[in-house]
Amino acid sequence: MPQSQSTAKKPQNNQRDRAILGLTRSCGLQDEGARALRSVASPTERYPAATLITPAGSTPRPKLILSGWACELRTIEDGRRQIFSFALAGDAVVSRPASAAHSCVLMALTAVECIDVERTLSGAQDPGRQDLARAIEQSLQVARERRYTQAVRLGRRSAVERVGDLLLELYDRLQMVDLVEAGGFPIALTQEHLADALGLSTVHVNRRLRTLRTRKLATLRFGRVSGFDREGLAALAR
């Protein structure tokens, strides 16, 4: 599946290259689609950490993440929060107006760079853009399917399994965009973020992270996961 190709031109390190890499590997983006994305004059939107990524108008707008970490989340009246998913470079996400009580909100966890998909795709119907549109649609679909896995995590897994399983997902996804190296990867999440995603208390996330560390499955320190044992973790949350 990882069909690593030299679609990325190294010369100047374009922000968009990582997203192109992700769409290529996970969603079968073709060269022509990559070229379309690279050449389009769509402005990069920037959101500071801890701000909402809201659409311009009042309709849901798909965005393509170029860099940074974002998440879909909902907050309930008493302040409890649930994070539904994390969005990384190369992921397409739908951002909705914050008002929609029955939906969710997209929030930047770190500084985030993204581009507006529809703005990028509007206009000419050349094959490059069509391919890009297809890949982005597929990316959204993949994200939708991941939500099933997330529900299983929340409903039917123990705390260690939840933590391990989520790290596994992040590992695999970051691998796709060349953000894994030397058996480790950067993780821009606090233990509170993990807790909100996993339906646990922060304290307990901390303790189960410790379990993973002592079992030599993964070590999270200073915004980085190291000593990652993919096989071991996969066995944990089979």
Partner DNA sequence: CGGTCGTTTGAAGTGGTTCAAGCCTTGTGG
Partner DNA sequence: CCACAAGGCTTGAACCACTTCAAACGACCG
| Interaction site with a second copy (CB under 8 A) | 72, 74, 76-78, 80-82, 84, 102-104, 144-145, 147-152, 154-156, 196-199, 238
What strands lie across the sheet with 219-221, from one edge to the other? 185-186, 224-226, 219-221
Residue 37 beta carbon to a second copy: minimum distance, rounded to whole angstroms: 26
Closer Cβ to a second copy, 24 or 85, answer by number: 85
* Structure-token pair, residue 167: 């790290």
- Cα separation of 183 and 141, whole Å? 28
Among a second copy, DNA, none, the one that 191 touches (CB under a kind-dependent 5 to 8 A) is DNA
Closer Cβ to DNA, 23 or 195, answer by number: 195
Residue 81 beta carbon to a second copy: minimum distance, rounded to whole angstroms: 7
- Cα separation of 95 and 63, whole Å? 7
Among DNA, a second copy, none, the one that 204 touches (CB under a kind-dependent 5 to 8 A) is DNA
Closer Cβ to DNA, 149 or 158, answer by number: 158
Residue 173 beta carbon to DNA: minimum distance, rounded to whole angstroms: 20
Closer Cβ to DNA, 105 or 160, answer by number: 160
Which residues sit at the interface with DNA, rule CB under 7 A? Answer: 158-160, 190-192, 199-204, 206-210, 221-222
Evaluate whether 206 touches 189 at the Cβ level (below 8 Å). Answer: no
CA angle 116, 175, 87 (to 5 degrees): 35
Residues 6+ apart with CB under 8 A from 31: 7
What strands lie across the sheet with 105-108, from one edge to the other? 81-87, 70-75, 105-108
